[in-house]
Amino acid sequence: MTEELQVVGGRLKTEFDALPILDELKWGIADMGYTTMTEVQRRALPILLEGREVMAKAPTGTGKTLAFGLP
């Protein structure tokens, strides 16, 4: 089953601090200089943090590895 995430009339959170992850992970992300999520991260992380699978296609350098590595 595939599902496409669509956001209508709402906003996805864009700050890593808003994620329900360990503070140590948030600190590590901040130490690397990242504060705002990229589009692929904003769209994938909420789904991944629910334990669901995601198949994402985005250009190199857009943050896919970080998105899939956090959960």
Residues of the chain with pLDDT under 50: 6-10
The set of residues, in sequence order, having a beta carbon less than 8 Å from that of 51 and lying 6+ positions away, is 71
Residue 40: name the closest of 67, 70, 4, 6 by CA. 67
How many other β-carbons are positioned within 10 Å of the β-carbon of residue 26?
Answer: 17
Quick: pLDDT tens for 29-46. 999 999 999 999 999 999
Q: What is the DSSP letter of 19?
A: S
In whole angstroms, how far apart are CA 15 and each of 1, 18, 37?
Answer: 29, 6, 6
The overall pTM is greater than 0.85: no
